[in-house]
Amino acid sequence: MFQEKNQPSQQQIKHSSAWRWHFYAGLYVVPFMIMLSITGLVMLYDDVIEDAQYGAILNIEAQQTRISLEQQLSNVQLSYPDASIKQYITPENSERVARFAIVSASGQGLFVTINPYTGDILGKIDRDNSIYNWANGIHGTLLIGENGDRLIEIAASLMVILIVSGLYLWWPTDNASKAGLFKLRLSSGKRIFWRDLHANLGLVTSVFLLFFVISGLSWAGVWGEKIVQPWNSFPAEKWNNVPLSDKTHASMNHDVLEEVPWNLEQTKLPLSGSQMGIDAIPMGQVNLGSVVAYATQIGLTRFKVNIPTKADGVYTLSANTMSGDITDAREDRTLHIDQFSGKVLADIGWAEYSLMAKSMAAGIALHQGDMGLWNRILNTLLCLTFILIAVSGVIMWWTRRTSSDKWLAAPVKVAPSPRWLSAIIITSLLALMFPLAAGAIAFIWIMDKLLISRVAKFSYHLK
C-alpha cells in the first residue's frame, strides 16, 4: 500500500505529538530553569560574596597558640548576654576566624566571628538576611513556603519530560535532522541556528540536568519528604534503646538552609540523661572544649558542634557534605554526645548510609560545586548553559510565530495521535515516579483536548 499524497507518516505524527508535549512542559519550566540557574550561581559563589562583604571580620593572622574554647564561648556570651548560642563552627584554616551561631533575643540568626588566638569578637554576620540565605530561599520555596516548594517540584518533575521528549526530537531520523547533528548551521537562517543551538546544548547537558533535577527533587516536599526520604532515613531504633526526643534532626537546620545529612532529617534526636551509650568523655568534664578535643581525637578536622540549649539536649558533632564541612562523602559523620555522662549516644557515618543516602551525600557536593575549582567551573558553565537553553527555546517559539499569532501558538497537530505504546509507558512511569508531574500531565492533557487543540489561534501558523 502506498501512502496517500500529503498524508502524514506515523513518524511525523509521533514527532508532532512529542513536540507538543515538549512545548507544554517548556512553557511552565522555562522561568523556573532560569530562576534555579541564577540562584544556583549566587550560592555557588557564596564564599566569594561573603569575603567581599565581610573580609575584615573573617581573616586573621595565624599565631602559635589559641585560647580555650570555654573562654571563646564566655566572650561571646558576655558580648551577647540575651542571645542563645546554638552552634560552634571550626575555622576553615589557620588564617580564618571561628564562628558561633547565635539567636538573638528578638529571634534574629547571627554568626559571631571570633579570633581564636586572642578571643576578640571581630563582628557579626546577619545570617537570616544574607545573600546566600535569600538565594537559597528563592531556590527552594520562592520565599512563599510550601506553595513555592510545590511549584518548583512541578517544574523539576516536568524537566524530566522535557529531557525525554527533547532527546526524542533531537534523534536524527532523516537528512534534515542529521544536518544539524552536533553543529550550528550559521548560514541557514536564524530559525535553524536557534534550533541547532537549543537541541545540541540540550543533548550535551541532558545527563547533568537530570542529575541536578533528581538530587534537587530529593529535598522536595512530596517526592523527597513523603516518598524517597522516609525509605532511606536512618532508623533511630538502631541506637540500642537510647531515649529519643520528639524532635528530628531537621530541627537543627537553620530556616531554609539544609545542614544535616539528607538521610537523617527525619530521624529523631537522642536525649541526654540516661546511662546508655559508649564511653567517650569522662563525666564531669563535658563541655565545648572537651567535645571538640574528642572530635579531633577521632579524626574530624572541619566540623560543627551543636550546643545543647535544654536540659535534655545533646552535643552534636557533624561533618558532612550537605553543610560543606567536607567534600568526601565517605567521611560523613554525625555523633551525639550526652551532655552529662559524656557518652556517645549515636555515631552515624558512610557505612550506615543506604545506597540512596550515599548517592545523595556524594551528589550534593557535586550539586553545590564543593569538589574543587573544576567543580565550580563546571557548575558555572552548566548554569549558564541551562539559561541559554531556556532562552533559546523562547526565541525558537517566537521566531515561529506569524503576524496572525496573538496567543499561545502551540505546535499544531498534523493528525490525531495514534496509540503510541512506548510514549504511553514512559509517561505512565514518570507519572508514577513523580506524583506532582502526574497532576501536571493530566492538567495539560485536559487543556489540550478541551481548549488548545480546538481553538485555532492557540496553535502555530507555521511560516
Give the range of the structural domain holding residue 36, as residue numbers without chain letter: 10-42+141-219+374-453
Instruction: Centre a 10 Å sphere on the Cβ of residue 168 and count the other Cβ atoms it contains.
Output: 19
Are 247 and 336 in the same domain? yes
Evaluate whether residue 102 is within a structural domain: no
Q: What does DSSP say about strands 84-89 and 98-103: parallel, antiparallel, or unpaired?
A: antiparallel
Are 17 and 163 in the same domain? yes
Are 304 and 401 in the same domain? no
- pLDDT value at residue 358: 95
Are 346 and 383 in the same domain? no
Q: Between vectors from CA 58 to CA 333 and to CA 125, what angle results, nearest 5°?
A: 85
Grid cell for residue 177: 535532522
Q: Between vectors from CA 158 to CA 178 and to CA 442, what angle results, nearest 5°?
A: 110
Could you tell me which of 337, 331, 360, 344 has the C-alpha nearest to residue 263? 360
Instruction: Centre a 10 Å sphere on the Cβ of residue 448 and count the other Cβ atoms it contains.
Output: 17
User: What residues have CB less than 8 Å from 409, skipping those under 6 apart?
Assistant: 397, 400, 401, 458, 459, 460, 461
Are 246 and 335 in the same domain? yes
pTM: 0.89
Evaluate whether residue 133 is within a structural domain: no
- pLDDT value at residue 463: 41
- pLDDT value at residue 462: 40
- pLDDT value at residue 415: 54
CA dihedral 247, 251, 252, 256 (to 10 degrees): 170
**Residue 224 Cα to chain centre, angstroms:** 11
Question: How far is the C-alpha of 161 from the C-alpha of 431, rounded, in Å?
Answer: 10
What is the total count of domains within the chain? 2
Evaluate whether residue 5 is within a structural domain: no
Evaluate whether residue 167 is within a structural domain: yes
- pLDDT value at residue 2: 44
Are 205 and 249 in the same domain? no
Are 395 and 449 in the same domain? yes
Are 240 and 214 in the same domain? no
Are 244 and 316 in the same domain? yes
Evaluate whether residue 173 is within a structural domain: yes
Are 287 and 400 in the same domain? no
Average pLDDT by stretches of 10, the chain with 463 residues:
56 74 90 97 96 96 96 97 96 97 94 98 95 94 94 94 87 66 77 88 94 92 91 89 94 87 95 95 96 97 96 97 92 97 96 94 93 95 97 87 60 60 76 84 78 56 41
Evaluate whether residue 21 is within a structural domain: yes
Are 186 and 283 in the same domain? no
- pLDDT value at residue 297: 97
Evaluate whether residue 461 is within a structural domain: no
Are 271 and 197 in the same domain? no
User: Under a CB-based contact definition with an 8 Å cutoff, are residues 233 and 266 in contact?
Assistant: yes
Q: Within 13 Å, how many C-alpha atoms sit on residue 17's CB side? A: 20
User: What residues have CB less than 8 Å from 291, skipping those under 6 apart?
Assistant: 281, 305, 315, 317, 337
Radius of gyration, CA atoms only, the chain:
27
Three-class SS state of 387: helix
Evaluate whether residue 76 is within a structural domain: no
